[in-house]
Structure 1
């Protein structure tokens, strides 16, 4: 049986920085590495809210990206 070992977590914030000529949103993202693997969704949301308060851009999406190593037993 295989086992997954959590290697790392990243937090990706996607901001809407404007609109193009056709009315589509222009998006820009910022990724933060070395996020604590134990961080809860609420904690990540609070961090994203604090970071967003430092910008003039609107937060469009918030993503948690976990990477795992698959080990065979």
Structure 2
């Protein structure tokens, strides 16, 4: 038998940087580590919106990437 244990999470924001010379859309990603396991979706989105308001580029996507360890019981 095994169990999964939360280790850490990363908040990843994707910003639209515009269009390059070749006509392709360019995105940039900003990552923030040490996200608490109990952070709510609303709190994470409020942070993402506040951060993107400081940028000249619009926010396209917000993702939370959790990482778990699998340990024997």
Q: TM-score, normalised by structure 2?
A: 0.91
Question: Where do 4+ consecutive residues of structure 1 move more than 4 Å?
Answer: none
Aligned length: 73
Aligned to 1:68: 68
Q: TM-score, normalised by structure 1?
A: 0.91
Aligned to 2:16: 16
- Shift, 1:41, TM fit: 1.0
Q: Please list, as runs of the form range in 1=range in 2, the aligned pairs for 1:1-73 lying within 5 A after superposition.
A: 1-73=1-73
- Shift, 1:22, TM fit: 4.3
1: CA distance between counterparts of 2:23 and 2:61?
A: 18
RMSD: 1.0
Answer with 20-29 or 40-49: which moved more: 20-29
The structure with the largest strand share of the pair is 1
- Shift, 1:12, TM fit: 0.5
